[in-house]
A and B are shown apart, each in its own frame.
Chain A
Amino acid sequence: MADFSSSFDMPSAGSSENAEAAELQRLIAVEQQKAQFQAQVHNFTDVCWDKCMDKPSSKLDSRTETCLVSCVERFIDTTLTITNRFTQMVQKGAH
């Protein structure tokens, strides 16, 4: 245990707990990223449903499917456009 901790330059007390905590942090970060993705999908679906769905039918037709895909892409484009332009505005000293 002492050899292990000294070769990695970590505090000698509880080095196995450090490794365990670090690994746990990494695994949780992965799950957090997945959860953030899911949350965004919920938001996009909410917005794009209103834009693209007419009367609920027995199947998702290709026109609606195309609309949903475009909706996601254009929403992201809009977000980027707004972010970039806003950054420029702030840099120019606009209030």
Chain B
Amino acid sequence: MDSFGSDFSSNSSSGKMDTGTIMEQVKVQIAVANAQELLQRMTDKCFKKCIGKPGSTLDNSEQKCIAMCMDRYMDAWNTVSRAYNSRLQRERARI
């Protein structure tokens, strides 16, 4: 990807970014947005599951529940990702 980008940048005017640099930034921004989405939804679900009547602090059991919930949410996310990917491949094979 680096050599690919620099081949083009040798002809581009100064001040323009090369393809490689732009794509790196695009990927980073998408990854950041994805992580934010994950955390927002995870927080919503785990708050609902783990915190009953909100007290003055998060007690030990609530902390443990949150930690487990996070792990389970990511497990679930991965399972869903694999299932969706399988389905897409199956649908593509039918075309």
Contact = CB atoms under 8 A, between A and B. Distances in A.
A72 B72 contact: no
Given A31-B26, A42-B37, A57-B68, A68 B8 contact: no
Contacts of A23: 8, 19
Q: Chain A interface residue count: which class?
A: 35 or more
Contacts of A27: 19, 23, 26
Q: Chain B interface residue count: which class?
A: 20 to 34
Main DSSP-derived SS at the A contact region: helix
Interface of B: 8, 11-12, 19, 22-23, 26-27, 30, 33-34, 37-38, 41, 45-46, 49-50, 65, 68-69, 72-73, 75-77, 79-81, 83-85, 87-88
Interface of A: 16-17, 19-20, 23-24, 27-28, 31, 34-35, 37-42, 44-46, 48-49, 52-53, 55-58, 60, 64-65, 68-69, 71-73, 76
